[in-house]
Chains A and B, each alone.
Chain A
Amino acid sequence: MQKRIYGIETEYGIIFTPEGRKTLPVEKAIRFLFEKLITTEHFLNVFLENGARFYQDTGCHPEYATPECASPGQLIIFDKAGERILEDLQLYAEEKIREERIGGRLSIFKNNTDFVGNSYGCHENYLVDRDVDFYYLAEQLIPFLVTRQIYTGAGKVFQTQDGIHYCVSQRAQHIYQKISGTTTNDRSIINTRDEPHADREKYRRLHVIVGDSNMSEYTNFIKVGTCSVVLQMIEDNYINKDFTLRNPVKAIKDITYDATCKRRLRLDNGREYSPIEIQREYCEMAQKYIEQYPVTDDHKKAVYMWQHVLDCLDTDPDKLDRQIDWVIKRRLIQSWVDKHKTTWTDPRVLMLDLQYHDIRRERSLYYLLERKGQVERLFNDEEIDAAKSNPPQDTRARMRGEFIKLARENSIQYDLDWSNIRLGNLLNVRVICNNPFETDTEKVAELVRTIQKTNLRKTSLSKLVIQS
């Protein structure tokens, strides 16, 4: 599939630190985050003007799902825009909390674990053709997904009885299955939940739940860009090598503990390869593939970056201390440890790890590095700010975003999900948009005009369904 829809769902960690006697349980703290969002939709579950969805998810995590995006680059901009939106909501929430005379501070982290073994996810979604054999696709993709953490990992200081380890990935320790249908217990590499939010006869969803949440734009882009290229190669039957791992779930854990990225893994055919070697094989195929097949500029760019990071990982991973999250964070902590003439067992080291992921830019260590020009950027603040309120122009999100703006301006009641718009005072007019590539905003504008004419806000019409 050359034209594809991409999406990322990010669950954020949240905590309220009280100052004084009054405290605020997380269930309540999270409600304050939604205060600023005025809508006729359900509380704690809303669509935003940029087409994204913001809601409270399992385990009381605020979750932001990007709108449907048409390229990896666009997706990363909208994922970043989600951080900024959440930061705005956080500032507003803090004000409201102060008004309630509760002293303290709200903190929100874009990471995937606490330090006692709980995990919350970052899920990538790729729209794929219904014709493709899902299990074939999954099996082909798994060795790639297991080993890619060497350049997609966000890094984690991990305390065990033997001491402190620095792991490559946040998420790897929390994966127990290759493929499964659940996301909270037996977490897997690929989840089988098949919600394409589109014509089910044409499309299905590939739901990758093994990834880390990334702060670095570079890391985030290469994560989605390379996966997208590999996916396209699988769809085109281009992959002619078999890297099936004997034990992928064990491999994913072995890799995260090995910051050299060179420890060998056993394949099903008895051969042994290091994660770098497996990634190199995929990367070399991709280099040939992009010469022979039509691909997008983002794909070419991702393959170029891919080769670069593998070269660096092979010679000296520290060369990636401006690009790849786990290396950036390790460098930061090491410098700090040296300055204070302390060791990695210093309890403040765990705080450094956590605070790297703070989304509040004035406190976040990642954003401190960004302000100092110490990390590589792919996008600029203007692009990211624009994505806070403007949907992608080349997907269905454009219609949704446009509709939300019009409905708010005209005080029209509405309710949304990914492929439906319901409106009118009984929500009895329904627009179905099953094609995620559809961008015709004139349809929604016309609908809003009709509603105004018939004054549906006050009177109820009989049920009306419009197929878009």
Chain B
Amino acid sequence: MKTNHQSERGNESRARIDLGADPMPLYMASSAEQQKQKQKGGGGDEGSGKGDGTQKLAEKGEELKEEMDNLLDEIDAVLEENAEEFVKNYVQRGGQ
């Protein structure tokens, strides 16, 4: 078993997700809103005199969005093709 406590890491990762997606977590935002956030983040860095911090946050947000997009593409690649039929046929006998 790992010794460092995972819930602490859980907090960190959470913070990471929120940074890119204020006020709504990225995965909850519609793609249009994500686009808006992306533009907002990207625009803020150029010539606005804001420090590296903002740029890093924006990059982080960008990275996370890309990660999520990739993940969703992979879900589509493995998702059962005949989903509706599969679910309809998935009838189990009652167990214990």
Contact with B along A348-385 (1 / 0, CB 8 A): 10111011000000110100110010101111100100
Q: Identify which of A57, A115, A209, A377 contacts B90 (C-beta below 8 A).
A: A115
User: Smallest CB–CB gap between A346 and chain B, Å?
Assistant: 9
Q: Which of A369-415 contact B (CB under 8 A)?
A: 369, 372, 374, 376-380, 383
Residue among B5, B9, B27 facing the most chain A CB atoms (10 A cut-off): B27
Max count, chain A CB within 10 A of own CB: residue among B6, B80, B91, B95: B95
A51-79: CB near B (< 8 Å → 1, else 0) gives 00000011111010000000001000000
A338/B31 in contact, CB under 8 A: yes
**B93 and A60 contact, CB distance less than 8 A:** yes
Contact status B78-A362, CB under 8 Å = yes
Contacts of B69 in A (CB 8 A): 339
In the complex, whether B53 has a CB less than 8 A from a CB of chain A is no
Known: A118-B91, A368-B74, A376-B9. A338 touches B96 (CB 8 A): no
**Which residues from chain B contact A331 at a C-beta distance below 8 Å?**
27-28
Cβ–Cβ < 8 Å partners of A163 in chain B:
none
Check if B89 is an interface residue, CB within 8 A of chain A. yes
Check: A83 CB closer than 8 A to any chain B CB.
no
Q: Give the contacting residue for A114; candidates B28, B67, B78, B91; CB below 8 A.
A: B91
The closest CB in chain A to the CB of B68 belongs to A335
Q: A335-B27, A341-B31, A365-B78 are in contact. Are A58 and B95 (CB under 8 A)?
A: yes
A348–B10 Cα gap in the complex (Å)?
29
Per the bound structure, the CA–CA distance linking A409 and B89 in Å amounts to 43
User: Across the interface, do A365 and B10 meet the contact criterion of CB distance under 8 Å?
Assistant: no
Flag if B92 contacts A118 (CB, 8 Å): yes
* Alpha-carbon separation in the docked complex, A341 to B72 (Å): 13
Number of interface residues of A (CB under 8 A): 65
Closest chain A residue, CB of each to CB of B96: A183
Q: Is the CB of B87 within 8 A of A350?
A: yes
Are the C-beta atoms of A120 and B14 separated by less than 8 Å? no
Assess the A351–B86 pair: CB atoms within 8 A: yes
Q: Is the CB of B14 within 8 A of A352?
A: no
Are A15 and B96 in contact, with the CB atoms below 8 A?
no
Q: Tell me if A143 counts as interface (CB < 8 A to partner B).
A: no
A118 to B96, CA, bound (A): 10
The CA of A377 and the CA of B83, in the complex, are separated in Å by 29
- Interface residues in A182-205 by Cβ distance below 8 A to B read 183-184
Contact at B90–A114, with CB atoms within 8 Å? Answer: yes
Query: What is the CA–CA distance of A434 and B89 in the complex, to the nearest angstrom?
Result: 45
Q: Is A336 an interface residue (CB 8 A)?
A: yes
Interchain CB contact under 8 A, A318 and B28: yes
Q: How far is the CA of A412 from the CA of B83 in the complex (A)?
A: 48
- Check if B84 is an interface residue, CB within 8 A of chain A: yes
B25 at the interface (CB under 8 A from A): yes
Q: Tell me if A13 counts as interface (CB < 8 A to partner B).
A: yes
Chain B 60-96 against A: per-residue CB contact (8 Å), 1 yes, 0 no? 0000000111011011001110011011011111111
Contacts of B11 in A (CB 8 A): 319
A120-138 to B contact mask, C-beta < 8 Å, 1/0:
1101000000000000000
Please report the C-alpha to C-alpha distance between residue A350 and residue B75 in the assembled complex, in whole angstroms. Answer: 14
Q: Is A418 an interface residue (CB 8 A)?
A: no
B2 contacts partner chain A, Cβ-Cβ < 8 Å: yes
Which residues of chain B are near A365, meaning CB under 8 Å? 75, 78
Instruction: Collect the chain A residues with CB atoms within 8 Å of residue B72's CB.
Output: 335-336, 339
Residues of B within 8 Å of A383, CB to CB, are 1
Q: Output the nearest chain B residue to A362 by Cβ-Cβ distance.
A: B78
A119 at the A/B interface (Cβ < 8 Å)?
Answer: yes
Q: A304-B7, A323-B10 are known contacts. Are A120 and B31 too (CB-CB below 8 A)?
A: no
B13 touches A (CB below 8 Å) = yes
Is B30's CB within 8 Å of the partner chain A?
Answer: yes
Q: Is the CB of B83 within 8 A of A350?
A: yes
> Is A34 interfacial (CB-CB < 8 Å)?
no
Given contacts A115-B87, A341-B31, 10 further A-B contacts (CB under 8 A): A15-B90, A57-B96, A59-B95, A63-B95, A119-B94, A184-B96, A338-B30, A352-B79, A374-B71, A376-B7
A–B Cβ pairs within 8 angstroms, 24 of them: A26-B93, A118-B95, A120-B95, A301-B5, A308-B10, A309-B7, A319-B11, A321-B17, A335-B72, A338-B27, A338-B28, A339-B72, A341-B30, A348-B84, A354-B86, A355-B80, A362-B78, A363-B78, A365-B75, A368-B71, A368-B74, A374-B71, A376-B9, A379-B2
B residues with CB within 8 A of A: 1-2, 5-7, 9-11, 13-14, 17, 25, 27-31, 67-69, 71-72, 74-75, 78-80, 83-84, 86-87, 89-96
| Chain A residues packing against B (C-beta within 8 Å) | 11, 13-15, 17, 26, 57-61, 63, 73, 113-116, 118-121, 123, 183-184, 209, 218, 301, 304-305, 308-309, 318-323, 331-332, 334-336, 338-339, 341, 347-348, 350-352, 354-355, 362-363, 365, 368-369, 372, 374, 376-380, 383
